[in-house]
């Protein structure tokens, strides 16, 4: 099966060599080929080029993309899409003046989602998550990381991770799974946080590793949740089971979580709404990528991650959605890219790099996803007729997508 896309107005993120991350000033460059074509064989990009050099290539199916833009699908490296129900009441409570912290302190927040999830069957949970995944693929996501973390018991965490495993099997996009073992202190351990960490270290992590249900380990390293000592215990135990850290740090408070992540060779450190100069310097010359989640900042009305500071320091930056019921009930990466430009002052080039190739890096798949490169997976967004790629972040909230192609097939 071959698919040929011709007359593409702008083909974005074209990489002759398989670049797997872009950092600092290099993020300002988004390679674009105007008036281009792409040839796909089965699920792989095999050729691309300028229409000027186009020699009648034969293909089983041809799409004329006149007036349209083609780019790699978004790589969303941080989501929590397996959850039960919603938290609409907390949304209204916040409008009426409560903070995210107030809600958590009275037993809402993550504990609210955990209670709902514990009382939801695996099949029901799968159906809810599958609907969300279908929706985000339609909005252009072609690789995704999904976390557990609303179980908070060994049994319920395993249930979540089995749902993720099923999503991996049933959906054509790349899915990576993360054990978010320490997301909140469960009610039963309210005054015994150490006991909960013991459970995570001695039972949860080994059980998950035993069933090969996760590749990554995550901890919500935050005041009122898990401190540096707790986080380190979890990361140490996870390391013995070859789970790589991707951690929640600096969402509300900065107290050394970034350095701890770097110490344990975290693939990514995510959130960073609060960022110290030390956090920036400790990330230099490491393999750990900072990840910003601007739609979370938008929804909670908290500061935006200082993306300019990060990029201007020569570091890489990835953008992800954080899709979850409490702080970001949206997985729309187009909105993430727009918000990064509008609120974090990333240029369109930086934001698109951050949401494609660097997003792929932040979930360990940038050798196969995140750019238009010969030999890479044919996961592409074909836009509607739009003036140029600036229009993607500019027309925020608009649905600019004509087709999403996953593994060489229209989704
Ligand atoms: O990334 N910060 C921790 N976890 C999620 C929110 C969890 C929730 O409120 O359900 C986040 O924002
Ligand atoms: Fe998150």
Cα-to-centroid distance, 78 and ligand 2 (Å): 6
Cα-to-centroid distance, 20 and ligand 1 (Å): 28
Q: What average pLDDT does the segment 359-374 reach?
A: 98
The rounded Cα 77 to chain-centroid distance in angstroms is 2
pLDDT of 54 higher than 90 = no
Query: Which pLDDT band, with edges at 50, 70 and 90, does 79 fall under?
Result: very high
Cα-to-centroid distance, 192 and ligand 2 (Å): 24
Tokens coding 138? 């339609």
What's residue 200's pLDDT? 98
Cα-to-centroid distance, 60 and ligand 1 (Å): 45
Provide long-range contacts, Cβ within 8 A and 24+ apart, for 160-163.
Answer: 160/82, 160/117, 160/125, 161/208, 161/211, 161/213, 161/214, 162/122, 162/213, 163/82, 163/122, 163/125, 163/126, 163/129
Cα-to-centroid distance, 220 and ligand 1 (Å): 8
Looking at the chain, which residues constitute the CATH 2.30.40.10 domain(s)? 2-72+371-410
Q: Give yes or no for a contact between 366 and 20, defined as CB atoms under 8 angstroms apart.
A: yes
What's residue 55's pLDDT? 85
Cα-to-centroid distance, 80 and ligand 2 (Å): 7
What's residue 344's pLDDT? 98
Q: Which ligand is nearest to the CA of 328?
A: 1
Best residue among 246, 248, 301 to mutate for probing ligand 1's pocket (most ligand atoms within 8 Å of CB) is 248
What's residue 56's pLDDT? 85
Neighbours of 63 (CB within 10 A): 22
DSSP code, position 305: P
Q: Please, what's the b/e burial string for 142-181 (b: 16 or more CB within 10 A of its CB; e: otherwise)?
A: bbbbbbbbbbbbbebbbbbbbbbbbbeeebebbbbbbbbb
What's residue 88's pLDDT? 97
* 300 Cα nearest atom in ligand 1: 12
Percent of the chain at pLDDT exceeding 70: 100
Whose C-alpha lies nearest to ligand 1, atom 1?
Answer: 322
Domain 75-361, second-level architecture: Alpha-Beta Barrel (3.20)
Concatenated DSSP letters for 161-199? HHHHHHHHHHSSSEEEEEEEEESS--GGGTT-HHHHHHH
Q: What average pLDDT does the segment 83-112 reach?
A: 94
Whose C-alpha lies nearest to ligand 1, atom 5?
Answer: 327
Best residue among 110, 296, 298 to mutate for probing ligand 1's pocket (most ligand atoms within 8 Å of CB) is 110
pLDDT tens digits for range 113-161: 999 999 999 999 999 999 999 999 999 999 999 999 999 999 999 999 9
Domain 2-72+371-410, second-level architecture: Roll (2.30)
Instruction: Report d(CA 199, CA 181) in Å as an integer.
Output: 10
What's residue 107's pLDDT? 86
* 270 Cα nearest atom in ligand 1: 1
Best residue among 252, 327, 328 to mutate for probing ligand 1's pocket (most ligand atoms within 8 Å of CB) is 327
pLDDT tens digits for range 5-22: 999 999 999 999 999 999
pLDDT of 342 higher than 90 = yes
Q: Give yes or no for a contact between 147 and 180, defined as CB atoms under 8 angstroms apart.
A: yes
pLDDT tens digits for range 218-233: 999 999 999 999 999 9
Cα-to-centroid distance, 147 and ligand 2 (Å): 8
Q: Give yes or no for a contact between 207 and 159, defined as CB atoms under 8 angstroms apart.
A: no
Q: What average pLDDT does the segment 38-65 reach?
A: 95
Residues having CB closer than 6 A to ligand 1 are: 109-110, 113, 220, 248, 251, 296, 322, 324-327
What's residue 90's pLDDT? 96
Looking at the chain, which residues constitute the CATH 3.20.20.140 domain(s)? 75-361
Best residue among 104, 178, 220 to mutate for probing ligand 1's pocket (most ligand atoms within 8 Å of CB) is 220
Cα-to-centroid distance, 328 and ligand 2 (Å): 8
């Amino acid at each position: 099966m071959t698919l040929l896309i011709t007359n593409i107005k702008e083909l974005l993120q074209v990489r002759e060599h398989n670049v797997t991350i872009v950092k600092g000033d290099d993020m300002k460059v988004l390679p674009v080929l105007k008036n281009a074509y792409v040839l796909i064989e089965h699920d792989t990009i095999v050729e691309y080029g300028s229409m000027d050099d186009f020699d009648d290539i034969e293909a089983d199916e041809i799409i004329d993309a006149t007036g349209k833009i083609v780019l790699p699908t978004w790589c969303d490296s941080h989501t929590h899409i397996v959850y039960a129900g919603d938290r609409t009441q907390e949304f209204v409570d916040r409008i009426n003046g409560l903070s995210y912290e107030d809600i958590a302190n009275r037993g809402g927040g993550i504990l609210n989602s955990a209670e709902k999830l514990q009382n939801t069957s695996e099949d029901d949970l799968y159906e809810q998550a599958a609907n969300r995944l279908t929706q985000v693929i339609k909005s252009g996501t072609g690789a995704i990381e999904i976390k557990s973390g609303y179980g908070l018991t060994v049994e319920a965490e395993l249930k979540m991770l089995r749902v993720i495993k099923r999503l991996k099997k049933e959906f054509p996009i790349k899915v990576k799974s993360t054990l978010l073992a320490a997301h909140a202190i469960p009610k039963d351990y309210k005054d015994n946080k150490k006991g909960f960490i013991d459970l995570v270290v001695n039972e949860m992590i080994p059980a998950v590793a035993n069933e090969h249900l996760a590749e990554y380990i995550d901890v919500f390293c935050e005041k009122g949740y898990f401190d540096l000592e707790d986080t380190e215990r979890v990361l140490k135990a996870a390391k013995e089971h070859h789970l790589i850290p991707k951690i929640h740090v600096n969402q509300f408070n900065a107290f050394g979580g970034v350095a701890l992540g770097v110490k344990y060779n975290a693939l990514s450190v995510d959130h960073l709404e609060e960022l110290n100069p030390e956090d920036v310097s400790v990330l230099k010359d490491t393999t750990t990528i900072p990840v910003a989640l601007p739609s979370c900042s938008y929804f909670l009305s908290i500061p935006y991650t200082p993306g300019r500071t990060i990029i201007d320091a020569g570091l890489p930056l990835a953008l992800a959605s954080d899709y979850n019921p409490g702080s970001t009930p949206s997985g729309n990466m187009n909105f993430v890219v727009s918000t990064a430009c509008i609120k974090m002052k990333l240029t369109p080039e930086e934001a698109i790099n951050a949401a494609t190739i660097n997003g792929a890096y932040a979930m360990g798949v940038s050798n196969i996803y995140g750019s238009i490169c010969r030999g890479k997976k044919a996961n592409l967004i074909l836009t509607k007729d739009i003036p140029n790629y600036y229009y993607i972040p500019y027309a925020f909230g608009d649905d600019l997508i004509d087709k999403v192609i996953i593994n060489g097939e229209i989704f």
